[in-house]
Structure 1
Amino acid sequence: MQTEKIIEIVHNALEDMKAKEIVDLDVRGRSTVTDYMVIASGTSKRHVGAIAEEVGIQIKAAGLLPLGSEGQSVSDWILVDLGDVVVHIMMPDARDFYDLERLWGVEKDA
């Protein structure tokens, strides 16, 4: 499946679950792990977990299987690995602390 289609499915899941501050990062040439990262915030640990679960459901419905996921037991930050796309769903405090947008060279809008 095309990477753009995977990102579209991820966005649909994030929007369906009312995720906040959705950002796409093109990390081709800067990461050996993935081509794109999609970062979103949840409003509570339960919300973060539910968003990650919905991403998995919609990806599986499209005929793909996630390569893995991490963080379900903590739920401050859940990562869903889809190969060419890695989805980071974070609590706002964790997102501010780790600041992946800055780490990967993308400045937040003021």
Structure 2
Amino acid sequence: MDVDQLKDVIVDALEERKGRDIVTLDVRGMSGVTDYMVVCSGTSSRHVKSLADNVWIEAKKHGATPLGMEGQRSSDWILVDFGDVVAHVMLPEAREFYDLERLWQVPAQSDKHEN
């Protein structure tokens, strides 16, 4: 499975369990660690855990090998790592606080500063 197929499997797994505000961040060229980050919100700790578990299960069904899962104990932010694609499943409060979308966005081109 190529990286784009894996990204799609992860998004589908999140949609299947009613993940909210799913965003895919293309971080190729900005990160040497991964190509894509998929960020999603859950409505409760239990929902976050269910979303992350479904990502793990569905990706494995499609032949992907997960490298690990972090954060299951607190379940306010669970990271599911597949190497080329990393899923971040978060409670809205954690998502707002860490603001991964802003952190990983492409920097805007700056105009010449006038003094």
TM (norm. structure 1) is 0.94
The alignment of Structure 1 onto Structure 2 pairs a total of residues equal to 107
Instruction: Specify the structure having the higher radius of gyration (Cα).
Output: 2
Structure 1 unaligned residues grouped into runs of 5+: none
1:72 corresponding residue in structure 2: 72
CA contact (8 A) 2:26 2:35 kept: yes
Does the 8 Å CA contact 1:69/1:79 hold for their aligned counterparts? yes
Give the 3-state SS of the residue equivalent to 2:15 in structure 1.
helix
1:84-99 paired onto structure 2 within 5 Å: 84-99=84-99
In the alignment, structure 2 segments of 5+ residues that lack a partner are 108-115
User: Take 1:55 and 1:10, find their aligned partners in 2: how far apart are those partners?
Assistant: 6
Q: Which residue of 2 aligns with 1:62?
A: 62
Which segment is superposed worse, 38-47 or 57-66? 57-66
Q: Tell whether the 8 Å contact from 1:28 to 1:34 is kept in structure 2 after alignment.
A: yes
In structure 1, how many angstroms separate the alpha carbons of the residues matched to 2:58 and 2:33? 22
Quote the offset at 1:106 in angstroms.
5.7
Output the amino acid matched with 1:92: P
Are the equivalent residues in 1 in contact too, given 2:6–2:64 (CA < 8 A)?
A: no
State the shift of 1:76 in Å: 0.3
Q: Does 1:10 align with 2:10?
A: yes
Name 2:112's counterpart in structure 1: none
Aligned to 1:42: 42
Compute the TM-score of the two structures, normalised by the length of structure 2: 0.90
Deviation at 1:65, TM superposition (A): 1.6
Q: Which letter does structure 2 place at the counterpart of 1:35? A: D
Kindly, what percent of the aligned residue pairs are identical?
A: 58
Give, as a single letter, the amino acid of the residue that structure 2 aligns with 1:98.
Answer: Y
CA distance in structure 2 between the aligned counterparts of 1:10 and 1:106, rounded to whole angstroms: 23
